[in-house]
Chain A
Amino acid sequence: MSEHDLFPFAHEWLSDMDTSLAANLEKWAASELMEKRLELKEDYAGLLEPAMRKLCLDIGLQRLLWPEAYGGDGHNTPAAALTITAALEQVARGDTSIALLLSGMWALQSCMAMEGKENPEACEAFADLFASKDTLAVTSLVLPLFRDEPQAHAKLSRGAWSVEAKKVRPIACGADAAVFGVYCSLDGEDEAGLIALPGDAKGVKKGKALLKTGLAASRNADVTFDKTKAPEGMCVARGREACRAALAWLYLGVSASNVGALFASYEILREWGDNRVIKGKDQVFKNNPLTSAVMGEVAKEIALDRMLTYNLARVLAAPDVYGEAGGERNFVTACMVAQQVAQSAEKAIGNAMEMMASAGYATEWNLERYWRDTKTMQLCLGPYELAKMDYARYFYQSQAR
């Protein structure tokens, strides 16, 4: 029994394959990342890239949601929401930034490849990449910085989109992207669209990798799209509901990744609590009432975050019960869960660091890495103050923008 079974969730929703995959990924995280990081820290070439290659290509997670007809493993049904949740928990436990990279990839794939709604033109165009066994399908999403305002604009002319954006900021991986998903305002249309573009398309200019707080596997950069062309079918989500569906899948991925980071933080804090002695030789750390109260609070946050995340996964996995992923209710739910879990992770890991004093911020103990990573990942969701406008719109029919 994994120690993570400590944190309850509706596990009857998981298939045997989901459980087995999670168990394998737990081993991957241990052998490819956790056993090596004391020496290699956050080294991209030495640690993170090899671990990503093993995960995405050898284990094959970049093929997981891709249709069999296009070389994938064929788990391209809504039920995969639960599969990716179980997977991302374990991936993020090893490295949160790799989990975010997968979350973005699966969000984009969900627009192209979902059973019954496949986009043959996009599947054909990106089959070589997503089904590849030797090329990492590093995915970079260019989403609104502030709520629903696109950073890019696209115009359709003679069956092709021309995408324009200057020095826009993706949520991740802008420097290394093999494929971009660009949220654009569409010329002459009221609603936006998500356009998939190859990372090496003409007119794509990737800037220098930025220095940032965390998420070391995601080398981000500002990107310019200078009249970058794409066939009409590359608009893989057109209109509000379709775009919101992609975001809902992304938000699920972010939530599951936060839960994985919380698992890792729990393990680190547990070791500290078991072994640290305070007040001279009198007391093991976890047995002090003041500190145990804070440890209890950390565990509560993890347990509730996991429960919430699996409930969101279930909502997305069962459209026959809950409706389509991009419906307003489900989108707002996904947004609320993602924001709640992200804020909770910030609080819980921050509290865990406080318990560990100097060891909390020393890189040697690794906790500070999860703290930086989860905060950086939280920013991908955009400002909370503006997200609340969506909640008010749904619950109170507020017209506030």
Chain B
Amino acid sequence: MRSIDDFTRPLENISPMDDPLGLIVRDWAEKYVIPHRRKFDEDYVDHKFIEPAFDKLMGEMGMQRVLFPENMGGWGFGRSDHVGTSMYRIMEEVARADSGMAVAYGVVYWPLLMIAVEPHVNYELCKEFAPIFCDTEEARFAANAMTEPQGGSDIENMEILGGSTIQTTAVLDGDEWVINGHKLWPTNSGGVCNLFGVVCTTNPGSRDPDDFAFIFVPADTPGCTQGPPYQKAGMAADKNGDIWFENVRVPKSYRAHGPGLDAMYFKEMVSLGNMASTAFVGGVLLNVWERLYEFVSEETYKGQPLKEHDAVAGLLADIARDAEVVRIVGYQNARMMDRPDIYGARWSDEQVAKARLYKYWSADVGMETLGKAMNLMSVYGADRDWDIEKHWRDLKIVQLWLGGKQLGQAEVARWFWDLETV
């Protein structure tokens, strides 16, 4: 009998950590997530089933420490040459169990990428924030506060808008930044966040990259308020809500890097966020294969297992193809993140465009595959007990985030076709 390990990874390009990490996370998923995930939807506010699993993975097992330097209690991934492939494997394994948990866990690293990854490690800020994540056995969450009410994902459209639509302001007052603004939707908001990375402007309306500021704000800073979590189609493990910053004051040193560099490295987050999204799709498709394997082997049609029907077999081949190809492409993208010396800087327009391409393609493939898998299961396709409908609801959210497909298309077309106005 086949297993998910029969789906191909480019073995010569993965890190030595790939298998140990993958198996540790898989073991955690089997024990702490998969037996409980059918209760997650109703748990979207309290997280009484979700939180213990996060505590185990991130706190006790220490997976929230991986980016930080070793001398600060971290695992040093941020300074390794396998940050992409290692993260890809971890995200894939978590998403196999629950892509909502995968994004919540993954986004802990997202703002930290700005300060904990070579070649731009900000040791001062790493030292400042490492204790939040490294000196505890409980899960701690970080969030990127980007999206705003008036412009949605416009903020991520840096090439065209250059940050000109950002309404959240940062004003330097002596040795402190004073931040005011309203953000929506960040993963790991809704009351759980410990540390925000806040996208601000120092000069509203400006397109000058020097005026784009990425500033860290501990969530318990006076003036920082988180609203309750929104109710969504899926992804209960990922809390999203409103955040208000009212005269929030943080030290001047909490700006990630400074004029120009914040805007540049922000694009690296877009690349890696898209790569992780592809990993979520890949993990989901592996679990779809597992669950569907069971269904089509058990259910019968015309006296034979459903999978033995020729027309059904054709569809099953397509589903396996999609899982296989997404995994290969996803690992390739992760390799590109690992080796900027070969493929170019992670914040380059090329890397951003290609990561977006892989993300929106894989999400489209994933949604189509899941829709077909549900259809093949007849009325059972809608059952919570078969898990596939959950993945279908969750993956739709992956397809829509990071600016959705159209922003991805625009970015891809701009790079490949030398567009100037789109």
Interface centre among A169, A358, A380, by most chain B C-beta atoms within 10 angstroms, is: A358
Inter-chain contact B150/A277, CB cutoff 8 Å? yes
Report the contact-size class of chain A (Cβ under 8 Å from the partner).
Answer: 35 or more
Inter-chain contact B400/A354, CB cutoff 8 Å? yes
Asked if B154 CB lies within 8 Å of chain A CBs, one says yes
Contact among B41, B377, B401 for A357, CB-based, below 8 A: B401
Contact among B154, B315, B376, B405 for A354, CB-based, below 8 A: B405
**Bound: A329/B302 CA distance, A:** 24
**Bound: A383/B316 CA distance, A:** 13
Inter-chain contact B400/A358, CB cutoff 8 Å? yes
Residue on B with the closest CB to A288?
A: B406
**Bound: A69/B90 CA distance, A:** 68
Asked if B16 CB lies within 8 Å of chain A CBs, one says no
Mask of A161-175 contacts with B, CB within 8 angstroms, 1/0 = 000000001110000
Inter-chain contact A379/B233, CB cutoff 8 Å? no
Residues of A within 8 Å of B399, CB to CB, are: 354
**Bound: A121/B396 CA distance, A:** 49
Contact among A149, A372, A380, A384 for B393, CB-based, below 8 A: A372
Inter-chain contact B375/A379, CB cutoff 8 Å? yes
**B interface residues, how many (CB within 8 angstroms):** 60
Contact among A212, A290, A346, A361 for B234, CB-based, below 8 A: A361
Asked if A146 CB lies within 8 Å of chain B CBs, one says yes
Inter-chain contact B299/A211, CB cutoff 8 Å? no
Inter-chain contact B233/A280, CB cutoff 8 Å? no
Asked if B165 CB lies within 8 Å of chain A CBs, one says yes
Asked if B403 CB lies within 8 Å of chain A CBs, one says yes
Inter-chain contact A280/B375, CB cutoff 8 Å? no
Inter-chain contact B185/A213, CB cutoff 8 Å? no
Q: With A213-B392, A375-B392, A382-B378 in contact, do A361 and B232 touch (Cβ < 8 Å)?
A: yes
Asked if B278 CB lies within 8 Å of chain A CBs, one says no
Residues of B within 8 Å of A213, CB to CB, are: 374, 381-382, 389, 392-393
Asked if B306 CB lies within 8 Å of chain A CBs, one says yes
Q: With A146-B299, A354-B400 in contact, do A372 and B233 touch (Cβ < 8 Å)?
A: yes
The stretch that binds B, out of A107-115, A232-240, A362-370, is A362-370
Inter-chain contact A149/B384, CB cutoff 8 Å? no
Inter-chain contact A278/B151, CB cutoff 8 Å? yes
Q: With A361-B233, A385-B312 in contact, do A379 and B378 touch (Cβ < 8 Å)?
A: yes
Asked if B23 CB lies within 8 Å of chain A CBs, one says no
Q: With A357-B153, A385-B312, A385-B315 in contact, do A350 and B396 touch (Cβ < 8 Å)?
A: yes
Residue on A with the closest CB to B306?
A: A146
Mask of A376-388 contacts with B, CB within 8 angstroms, 1/0 = 1011101111101
Inter-chain contact A368/B232, CB cutoff 8 Å? yes
Q: With A213-B389, A362-B231 in contact, do A353 and B396 touch (Cβ < 8 Å)?
A: yes
- Least distance between A157 CB and chain B CB atoms (Å): 27
**Bound: A368/B232 CA distance, A:** 8
Residues facing A in B296-311 (CB within 8 A) are 299, 301-302, 306, 309-311
- Least distance between B303 CB and chain A CB atoms (Å): 10
Contact among A145, A294, A368 for B233, CB-based, below 8 A: A368
Inter-chain contact B164/A361, CB cutoff 8 Å? no
16 further A-B contacts with Cβ under 8 Å, apart from A358-B185, A379-B382, are A41-B231, A146-B299, A213-B381, A280-B164, A280-B165, A353-B400, A354-B399, A357-B400, A358-B184, A362-B230, A363-B231, A371-B233, A385-B376, A386-B309, A386-B312, A389-B311
Which residues of B are at the interface with A, using a C-beta cutoff of 8 A?
A: 38, 41, 147, 150-154, 157, 160-161, 164-165, 184-185, 230-234, 240, 299, 301-302, 306, 309-312, 314-315, 367, 371, 374-385, 389, 392-393, 396-397, 399-401, 403-406, 409-410, 422
Which residues of A are at the interface with B, using a C-beta cutoff of 8 A?
A: 41, 145-147, 149, 169-171, 210-215, 220, 276-280, 290-291, 294, 346, 350, 353-358, 360-364, 368, 371-372, 375-376, 378-380, 382-386, 388-389, 400-401
The 4 residue pairs across chains A and B that have the minimum distance between CB atoms: A211-B384, A368-B233, A213-B382, A145-B378
Chain A to chain B contacts (Cβ below 8 Å), 27 pairs:
A145-B379, A145-B380, A146-B301, A210-B383, A210-B384, A211-B38, A213-B381, A213-B389, A213-B393, A278-B151, A279-B154, A280-B165, A294-B406, A355-B404, A356-B400, A357-B400, A357-B404, A360-B396, A360-B400, A361-B234, A361-B396, A363-B230, A372-B393, A380-B379, A385-B314, A386-B312, A401-B302
